[in-house]
Amino acid sequence: IISLSLTGLNLGLDFAPGSSMDIYFIEHKVTESQLRDQLATIGHGDAKIQHAVDSSTGNDYYYVRTREIEISEKETIKASLETAFGLVNIKNFEYISPEIATEVVRNAGYAVLAAVVGILLYITWAFRKLPKPFHYGVCAIIALFHDMLVMIGMFSILGWAANIEVNSMFIIAALTILGYSVNDTIVVFDRIRENLLRGVSKNFATTINISINESLGRSLATSVTTLLVLLALYLFGGVTISTFILALIIGVVSGTYSSICIASQVLVSWEEGTFGRICGKIKSLLAREEPAAIGGEDSQV
């Protein structure tokens, strides 16, 4: 939360306004560092560069995002690169306005919000045979909010510590984590439903505890095997999917924790009225301090 408040997210090519182009080097193979250094000499040292491969021809090229530039400045960039590296071909020159970039971010937020609402409605319907099925949906959403906050907060820290950017793959990872985390939470909730219907214990908290213990091995086994695959992909899958895989790793760890240690505990606290007692204590403390604030020490006495 502190990192998000101070630095925010390091927005990548998909969410930043400016101009973009695909640069093909015809005569020589150019590294990303060489391209960056040459762009810096003509005032584009802050350009964001991403290596890519043309799917139709198999040729390497660089996707470059700069500040907003005109056609004439694009020609200046081309001339400078050709002087340094030989023949250059620039394709797909586009201008991305701040309004379009803002709309992309807004649409991404709508996608996540729509997924959350859909999950809430589905869980409420799936547990409709139990008392207060809406509580199960809300507790699952609280666990999802925890997972999203952890993942976004980690990427905020990694943004200024390791210059890791947030791009469209991050949004895909966020939606994937929503599905994975809620699936793990539903497994625990489903065991709770079975034990409640069987009457394992008259005490609600005891039933929750038994259900968590019964599903603990399955949850951990699923998460560990998933993490092994994700680690292999992160180490050997290449840079094009590294952001996506890193977000999934963080989300799987956080989702496993929240399914076991947050969702069910919030459900118990809600059922036993813990939240109401906390609010009542806060209100009583505020009411107790109010006379002193109005009349000073004499009023308190």
Longest dimension (CA), the chain: 88
47 — pLDDT class (breaks 50, 70, 90): confident
What tens digit of pLDDT does each residue of 105-146 get?
788 788 888 888 888 899 999 888 888 889 999 999 999 999
| pTM (whole model) above 0.85 | no
Tell me the mean pLDDT in the region 143-161: 92
Give pLDDT, residue 130: 86
For residue 90, give the nearest of 107, 111, 69 by alpha carbon: 69
Supply φ then ψ for residue 54, to 5 degrees: -70, 120
pLDDT in tens, 173-220: 888 888 888 888 988 999 999 999 888 888 899 999 999 999 999 889
pLDDT of residue 14: 67
Distances in Å between the Cα of 100 and the Cα atoms of 103, 125, 166, 178 are 5, 37, 17, 26
Q: Is 128 exposed, middle or buried (0-12, 13-18, 19+ CB in 10 A)?
A: exposed
Residue 273 is predicted with a pLDDT of 80
